[in-house]
A and B are shown apart, each in its own frame.
Chain A
Amino acid sequence: MIIFKKGILPLFLLVFSASYSQESENLIPTGASTVFSINNINLLHKISIDDLVAYDFMDELHQELFDGSTAGKTMKDAGIDFDQRLNIFYGKDRIYEVTGFSFGVSDKVALFEVFDDFEFSEHLSNGSERYNSLFNTLILKGTSAVLLRLQPTDEYLVQMTDSLNYYEWDTENLDGFNEYLDSQDEVFEEAVFEEVYIMSPSDSIALLYDATEREELIHSDKKSYWEIRDSIAYVLQFEGMNALIEDLIISENSLATIDERFRVQLDKDSEGIFFIDNSRNFSNQGGLWYFQTMYPIMNDDLKELYAENHMTGSLHLDSNEVYFDLTANYGDQLGAIYTEMNNNPLNKDFIKYIPDDAPAYFVYNVDLRKAYDKAYDILLPMLKDNKDNKMVMNLLAIQLLDKLVDKKALFGAYQGGIFGTFNGVQKVMTKQIEYQYDEDNFDYSEIETETEEDIPVFTLGFASERTDLCEMVLQDLSRLTSRIEKKEGYWLVKDAILESAPLYIVCNPKVLLISNDEQFITSHLTGYGKFKLSKKKIKKIKKAGVLYAKMDLGESLNQFPQAFLDSKQKKVLNNLKNNSGSIELSSKDSELSHTLYGLRYSFESTSSKANQFLDMINTLYILSK
């Protein structure tokens, strides 16, 4: 009996606790398409909550956290269990955008000192606790918690609101909608109060439609478009959050339970992992709107092509280096196109135009002709399965173009390979107007003075065997405008950069060069000679597959004028700006199922390893969102 107690009981307790314990990675919704999971969160012990919420990946959630309750507190003070992962996730489908993070909880009291805006809402049927704040929901399940924020997408909200044909309501006879919406708001307010779910948004919308028929709903008060939109947003959010909780918490469907690929990632031995499901991101790309709208069938077919497309990665932290290995996974068909496009020898004509001291440069070595031929072979049979009129006509046009266009000339002119160098910042003189005042009567006159402005200096090179075509175009254009001038070995386009600085075009036999670097044009027109990249660096580029990029953070990011960037690029830049060190991105040859990429971030910063690690995660988050 004693032996039983000594031997079986601990084993029983161990098994029981293992089976009962809830890990934070199981609280990631199935709709998450981008996940960062930090395994070694011991690293983050000393990170202050204020520092953490300042990162973009916390942006959607931090309003309520960043209200003073976090002042001076570290992650450790917040009752977070460092033996569990910290998972940050993001997902978007046609209707909803979900953001959040899940983590382990070691001290519930301490947790709610930080999450002090959350109020207890209910015990869910499986014993989990639900807390709500103004925008977010926090679920405590066992020793883990998940903070969720769910919002309907703007596109869907606008579509739904507009579908109510609001402008028709703007007549006396249709004011009843507003009355109806008011009553619905009350119903939902009650529902929230009583924590009882009443109806789905689709039901609500259907009822709104029905209301047009009801003469008895005609009253005088009107709701504005925005009020109606807010009402719909509220209903959608309410419904969506309940459905999400039901699926994730009650039915225990999480990304880890439904996606084997993600589960494999979780088993990786690294400080952090990264997972992006491009097959879902692909269809949510805003830039593809036109394509999706005009060619929905072709879009569906291409979705097939992207079905297995996902990216996985692991983050490793060394003493002064964050190394990120990334695998871009895809199906065989896409893989066949990529292998043709990507696996090419380094274009030697590029190397001589990259100076050894360039703060940043990249080489992208693709062959579009080979990619086109392979894509034609693969895509055409896929698309031919469709008998839709529009599709048949499109395919016919594609086939005729394929037969009639001289592909050798076309892809000879633009082969696809490209390199770029950022050569620092150069001062250019620009004119400005100033005023000179007469002290007698303060009459003034304009005077023209010169001032110095910083502009980034770059060179871009395109692989081309037909640079004579560019020469021909410039020759003709120069007859039309005095801004284009032929010089010895290059073309000058005056005031081409922001109507203030010149641009130089060099039509060399194998590469077309575009630059605004005066020094390059005056001294290195045929290449940098002994100043070109060192053999060691060239070896690295050769070893890399389709892509190689290197950036010296101190010299490039801190110098780069931000006016030339969009908001997303600015965010990334500012995120890394105070660091020094370098970022190196390289790839391996593409294989049928995947391409490997490596990102090495070597830092020489006074800030902690944990900060560097989070900086890198934040950069990846911004870029992947």
Chain B
Amino acid sequence: MRLPFLCFLLLLSLNSCIEILDDISFNADGSGKLNYTINLSSSKLKINSILALDSLDGQKVPDKEDIKDKIAAVITTLMNQDGISAVALTEDYENYVFKLSLSFRDINALMSGVEVALNSSNITSEESAIDSTWISWDGASLNRRIPDLNSFKFGKVKEEDEALVKSGKYTSISRFEYPVDSIENPFAVLSKNNKAVMLRGSLFDVLQDPSIMGNRISVKPPDY
């Protein structure tokens, strides 16, 4: 029951150097591919030191096997979701880099799959359930946010960790088959081929205000 919380307690303790990278590609038919990477490699000394402890701040520290089991359960749930396919996970426990990739039939299948997987994993708090409509795509216009990380059960960043958390990064990439026409978020950057938009922020800022990673992107489909 408490394992997810503990896993995320572990993450909180480490988010000084978390790098999160989400990368979504959209096809013309509404399907697409999601790559989600959590890179903790710059904190591996700290992770190993925490994993070596029995408990941290009064909570039992999960071992690697517990973490593997929990991740496997989330992946299994995702695999069983309608409209979700090619689910693959790469776990690198030497560098602590975790990569999830999956294909989705349409945006609703993606949102529903993610919601079910997260709810089944019990890592979101009951009071602030994860926003299930964080992305919309009509073939010409993408409106996306990122889930509010504060809705996960890892609470607020402690004051003494703030400086460290500021070095964490969140990168969000949206890719399209057609050239991008307009971008709403002034901090987003367009690739030279005009088909990808990148938005980067400090993890600390994202934790404080998830809306800074929100964006509305319009693309120019070809005239048939």
Contact = CB atoms under 8 A, between A and B. Distances in A.
* Residue from A446, A451, A501, A563 with most neighbouring chain B CB atoms (10 Å): A563
Contacts of A498: 44-45, 48-49, 52
A455 B58 contact: no
Contacts of A563: 13, 45-46, 49-50
A563 B61 CA distance: 13
Interface string B152-195: 00000000000000000001010100000000000000011101
Interface string B82-122: 00000000000011010000000000000000000000000
Contacts of A435: 19, 21, 39, 171
A4 interface: no
Given A439-B192, A441-B196, A442-B175, A433 B39 contact: yes
B173 to A, nearest CB: 5
Contact of B195 (A441, A453, A455): A441
* Residue from B41, B57, B193 with most neighbouring chain A CB atoms (10 Å): B41
A498 B45 CA distance: 6
B55 interface: yes
Interface string A559-578: 00101101100000000000
Interface SS of chain B: mixed
A567 B13 CA distance: 13
Range for the number of chain B residues in contact with chain A: 20 to 34
A499 B46 CA distance: 10
Contact of A567 (B44, B46, B56, B195): B56
Contact of A500 (B19, B48, B58): B48
Contacts of A501: 45
Contacts of A441: 175, 191-193, 195-196
B49 A433 contact: no
A442 B175 CA distance: 9
Given A435-B21, A442-B175, A499 B48 contact: yes
Contacts of B57: 567
B195 A433 contact: no
A567 B42 contact: no
B198 interface: yes
Contacts of A564: 49
A567 B56 CA distance: 6
A422 to B, nearest CB: 16
Contacts of B39: 433, 435
A486 interface: no
Contacts of B195: 441
A408 to B, nearest CB: 35
Contacts of B67: none
A242 interface: no
Given A437-B198, A441-B195, A500 B44 contact: yes
B73 interface: no
B53 interface: yes
Contacts of B171: 435
Contact of B198 (A442, A499, A567): A442
Contact of A430 (B13, B45, B173, B193): B45
Nearest to B35: A444
Interface string B46-82: 1011101111111000000000000000000000000
B45 A453 contact: yes
B11 to A, nearest CB: 14
B107 to A, nearest CB: 20
A431 interface: yes
B177 to A, nearest CB: 12
Given A432-B42, A451-B42, A442 B48 contact: no
A187 to B, nearest CB: 33
Interface string A499-526: 1110000000000000000000000000
B45 A455 contact: yes
A318 interface: no
Contact of B55 (A437, A499, A561, A566): A566
A500 B53 contact: no
Given A428-B45, A439-B192, A566-B56, 20 more contacts: A430-B45, A432-B41, A432-B95, A435-B21, A440-B191, A441-B191, A441-B192, A441-B195, A441-B196, A442-B175, A442-B191, A442-B196, A446-B97, A498-B45, A498-B48, A498-B49, A498-B52, A499-B44, A500-B45, A561-B49
Interface of B: 13, 19, 21, 39, 41-42, 44-46, 48-50, 52-58, 94-95, 97, 171, 173, 175, 191-193, 195-196, 198
19 contacts: A430-B42, A430-B44, A431-B41, A432-B42, A435-B19, A435-B21, A437-B198, A439-B191, A440-B193, A441-B175, A442-B175, A442-B198, A451-B42, A453-B45, A498-B52, A499-B48, A499-B94, A500-B48, A501-B45
